[in-house]
Structure 1
Amino acid sequence: MKKIIAAIIIAIGGGFSVVQAQTQEVDRTVKEDTIWVDYKTRYTSSFWDNFYVEADFAGRMLMGAEDTHLSFGSRLKPGFGITVGKWFHPDFGVRLNFGGARLKGWNSGPTGIYAYDDGWVEGFDPVQEYWKGQGVDTQNGYRQDIKYYELNADFLFDLYNVFTSHNRLNRKWTAQGYVGVGMLRAAKYHGMEDNVKVGLRVGLIGNYHITDRLGLHLSVGSEITDANFTGELGKGNKFSGILNGTIGLSCRIGRQGYRVVRLVPQRQLAALNNAISLIRTEQTVSGDTIVMKERMATGSLLIPSVVFYPGKNEFNEELQMVNIFRIARYMMRYKDAKIAIVGNTGGTDSRLARRRAEKVRDLLVNKYGIFPQRMEIRTYDVNAKYGVTGYEQSVNFTVIE
């Protein structure tokens, strides 16, 4: 009887030992496999890289309060633009733009360009006389007909990259915003004298990359400048607005692309080095390597897990591919072993969990040549089954034979 009682006690103690050993194994798994690395990514390139040129057909119109006396069609006039730009980073760049156009508007106030210039004397206004000659009643105002050129410097920022880091570099469609400053010069024309003003610019650009070099783009923007730019007197501190839209072709010139540099905080780099050291100290066999120091029993949870980004079917390859490699080594060492690839549903819906498990299985098959018949796809809450935390957003592995 005493022997029976002793055997029961030993069995219970052994059972507790097995449970404790498995719990320790799971705890060690969580500590090793849930290292999150907060990379700071930098994009570098030569100064002569990532240049482009553009040629535009433009439509522009004056947007002053009195210009509404003319119809939309009467104010909209054609123009042109030539641009040279450079992207310093996937998120921002600069450009220089030269363009020209005619502008049509209406002025109901005093005529003339300046109160005192060579063509204007008391009782005689060259602009007024010109429009009288064209049959315009200048007592109610007169038409403005302006030829001008502009030189602009703009700062560009990628609107897509502001909101997401996915696929930052190679997209068919891109959307950018710009802010800048321009110098506008009105030519001597129809009574107008030379007139130089500074304008502030803002706008949006949409691009479609037809090829790696050639692209099509549309833009819409506006510019604000001094009201005297249009030759109006007595406007004080008022402003004139110019609305512009362009369509054109762009061409990337020279070398394109960036060198991606990822900076890792020192404490996280130390964690990565520790993980690598653990792998290097694993037991090895001549001509082959193994992931475990011994073959694991059926139902055991294998140490590596693959941690995915929350809510996504993607993971940090630099950190997690080593864990897939460790599973592949185990399967290579024990060639008759079979495993279940478990998509963890703890904090994730079963559909996404299954897709994650299938992605890992495909990597084991296509990258390491593991037969798919040796693997099964399963989904369940690993956290609840093993009574642990830290396995959220993961794919795990258990021995089934």
Structure 2
Amino acid sequence: MKRIAILILLAVWCGLSASYAQDENIRTEVSKTIKLDTVEVDYKTRYTSSFVDNFFIEADFAGRMLMGSDDSGLSFGKRMRPGFSVTVGKWFHPDFAVRLNFGGNSLRGWSSGATGIYNVNNDWVEGYDPVEEYWKAQGVDTRNGYKQDMKYYELNADFLFDLYNVFHSAKRLDRRWTAQGYVGVGLLRVAKYHGMDDNTKVGFRIGVVGNYNISRRWGAHLSVGGTMTDANFTGEIGKGNRFSGIFHASVGLSYRLGKQGYRVIRLVRQSDLAALNNAIELVRNEHTIPGDTIEVVKERMAPGSLLIPSVVFYPNENEFNDELQQVNLFRIARYMMRYKDAKIAIVGNTGNTGEHLARNRAQKIRDILVNKYGIFPGRLSIRVYDVNAKYGVSGYDQSVNFTVAE
């Protein structure tokens, strides 16, 4: 009787030991997997291209309006004048470009000052205002001021920056709609016309551009901006520290010259590269079979078993580190390729994650296995539950896991 009791106790002890060893093995594998999956790699992306690449030219029809201190004496409609501009530029990076712009035509303003407020030169004498005399000859009453009718031209250098890429990098090289801001500096020259003397000033520019890419070469755009310059730009003196402004809006077409696009280089710090190499080496050492490729396990798992590894997502996102997690996806696909009749349940873990996000993550992994690795959809099912609680493990909070289906 004692012998039988001893044998029973020995059997129970062996069973508990085996169970503990199996549970400890699961915990060890989980620890290895989580350690592997959470390697953080800091990438820096660099875009390079030849100097002759990514050039563009533009032609615009513009409307311009003088915004000087006295110009409100004319209505909005009378001040708005047509103009043109032509541009050549180059994108050095998806985020920024430089351009040279030439444009002009005419401006119309209003002067409420008395006669003789213009600079005196060889043609002008003290007390004589040729601009006022011109408008008098046209039959205009100049007692309360007179119009300024100017021919002007401008040459500008602008720095453009992509507004969308400041906040988001998705499809930064291939978008139908784009928007840029720009800042720049230019030379503004008024020509001799209707009594006005020639005059050159420096202006500072700022504005925004909206683009629609019709094709890989052609685009249409709308631009709105302004230029600030010295109030003496119109030839008047006695304005003190005031400024004149030019509001401009334009529509036009752009054409991209030569080769477009960039060579994308991803730079990794040496310490991150070492960590990534160590993670890959860990996979190879654990799961390489002589004469074969990486294998998820060396023998078929029983139904209900939790397969190692998992696919770890960024916290509260439906995205993961592609360079690291594709290794784990391949290991699952390789298991299913070896065991052709095996069925897998793709489990979106709800531990510390909402059920909706967990299901979307599982669906994303299913689509990759089907579309990239050619796994038959009927062999895959989607489930959502708390993997940590069911299997008594930890560290799977932001993961999609795999179990052998019945």
The reply to whether residue 350 of structure 1 matches residue 355 of structure 2 is yes
The reply to whether residue 81 of structure 1 matches residue 85 of structure 2 is yes
Matches within 5 A, 1:199-238: 199-238=203-242
Equivalent residue for 2:156?
A: 152
8 Å contact from structure 2 (residues 116, 127) kept in 1: no
Distance 1:359-1:151 versus aligned 2 partners, 3 A rule: same
CA distance in 2, matches of 1:244, 1:87: 23
State the Cα distance separating 1:114 from its structure 2 match: 4.1
CA distance in 2, matches of 1:260, 1:349: 36
8 Å contact from structure 2 (residues 29, 308) kept in 1: yes
Equivalent residue for 2:397?
A: 392
Amino acid of the residue matched to residue 393 of structure 1? Q
Amino acid of the residue matched to residue 29 of structure 1? T
Distance 1:227-1:84 versus aligned 2 partners, 3 A rule: same
CA distance in 1, matches of 2:116, 2:58: 37
CA distance in 1, matches of 2:277, 2:115: 77
CA distance in 1, matches of 2:306, 2:290: 23
Matches within 5 A, 1:2-401: 2-111=6-115, 114-281=118-285, 282-284=287-289, 286=291, 290-401=295-406
Structure 1: stretches of 5+ with no match in the other structure: none
Q: Which runs of 4+ in 1 moved over 6 A?
A: none
8 Å contact from structure 2 (residues 117, 238) kept in 1: no
Distance 1:113-1:83 versus aligned 2 partners, 3 A rule: farther
8 Å contact from structure 1 (residues 331, 337) kept in 2: yes
CA distance in 2, matches of 1:318, 1:229: 59
State the Cα distance separating 1:309 from its structure 2 match: 3.6
8 Å contact from structure 1 (residues 217, 249) kept in 2: yes
Number of residues paired by the alignment?
Answer: 401
CA distance in 2, matches of 1:388, 1:289: 25
CA distance in 2, matches of 1:252, 1:167: 18
Name whichever of 83-92 and 27-36 sits farther off: 27-36
Aligned residues: percent identity? 69
State the Cα distance separating 1:113 from its structure 2 match: 6.9
Distance 1:398-1:238 versus aligned 2 partners, 3 A rule: same
CA distance in 1, matches of 2:176, 2:109: 39
CA distance in 1, matches of 2:394, 2:73: 71
CA distance in 1, matches of 2:116, 2:401: 81
8 Å contact from structure 1 (residues 112, 233) kept in 2: no
Name whichever of 104-113 and 239-248 sits farther off: 104-113
Deviations 1:74-121 (A, max 9, x none): 000000000001111111111110001211111112445743201211
CA distance in 1, matches of 2:119, 2:245: 23
CA RMSD of aligned residues (A): 1.8
CA distance in 1, matches of 2:272, 2:389: 29
1:161 counterpart SS class: helix
8 Å contact from structure 1 (residues 110, 234) kept in 2: no
CA distance in 1, matches of 2:395, 2:67: 60
CA distance in 1, matches of 2:86, 2:271: 50
Distance 1:346-1:47 versus aligned 2 partners, 3 A rule: farther
CA distance in 1, matches of 2:22, 2:395: 21
Amino acid of the residue matched to residue 340 of structure 1? A
Deviations 1:124-165 (A, max 9, x none): 221121122122333311111111000000000000000012
TM-score by length of 1: 0.95
